Structure 1
């Protein structure tokens, strides 16, 4: 019942649009701050790896291992992925363009930051993003998805209407 409300209600779509734009502005500001502020991820990664030690580690060993063996050697790539991921997720959420995909990308970044021992606004953003993901396409009803989804439906008739429909 609640799921139907999130997926079909115009009232829910309005509330979700506000949440979506808030999250988009948050991501966009974070990404632009990194773009203009000379973002360097190497120190952050080393700090996260060091949080995996001690009596009460803030970072789990498996994640620290990933950071140490893969992310740290490729820190320049990760800096670009984080910065542009935040900018693109922000723009897409603000515009309501590919809303579900943008929200999914955003929540993946939130979890990566949480796994790395950074709390900040990430838990709040995760909770809000869950509502957008639960709503599916209705979260983009008052955005560009309103026009893009029908075009996709025309070009991909094999997709069930229930997968993309705005009712």
Structure 2
């Protein structure tokens, strides 16, 4: 359990780092539409291309804010949950649920990032799939503990 929590802590810190970069750049939300437009044509998933072109790009300000805050909230929930469970191996259910919520949010973000950008490079493909698998393992393991 301790080893998994240390891995989950590192996932939380990765989300925190990613979130920090988006907040401090000040251009993430305003630039998301342009970024999505650049990768749209080569996206291999026709249904996701349709989603990007008809929903995400026209509403890029909304989606940019959802990603920005989703990353931060997932990062805080995963990091805090993992630290609290490392300190107290038998936490109350609230701590477990916070960690599960953060992992679920991170998982959804990783799936969307993989669908949108996984085709752009092997590293983008790999890191999103790896984080998704780790988050699924964390969710399943913690659910079994409840």
**TM-score above 0.5, yes or no:** yes
Alignment check: 8 A CA contact 1:51 1:117 kept: no
Deviation at 1:51, TM superposition (A): 1.3
Is 2:42 aligned against 1:81?
Answer: no
Give the Cα separation in 1 of the matches to 2:117 and 2:14. 19
Deviation at 1:16, TM superposition (A): 1.9
Is there any run of 5+ residues in structure 1 with no aligned partner, and where?
1-11, 53-58, 139-163
Is there any run of 5+ residues in structure 2 with no aligned partner, and where?
82-94
**Residue in 2 that maps onto 1:32:** 20
**Residue in 1 that maps onto 2:80:** 95
State which of 60, 67, 70 in structure 1 corresponds to 2:45. Answer: 60
Alignment check: 8 A CA contact 1:99 1:137 kept: no
Counterpart of 2:58 in 1: which secondary structure? coil
Q: Which has the larger radius of gyration?
A: 1
Give the Cα separation in 2 of the matches to 1:62 and 1:51. 13
Superposition TM-score, scaled by structure 2 size: 0.77
Is 2:8 aligned against 1:20?
Answer: yes
RMSD: 1.6
Aligned residues: 122
Q: Higher relative contact order at CA 8 Å, sep ≥6: structure 1 or structure 2?
A: 1
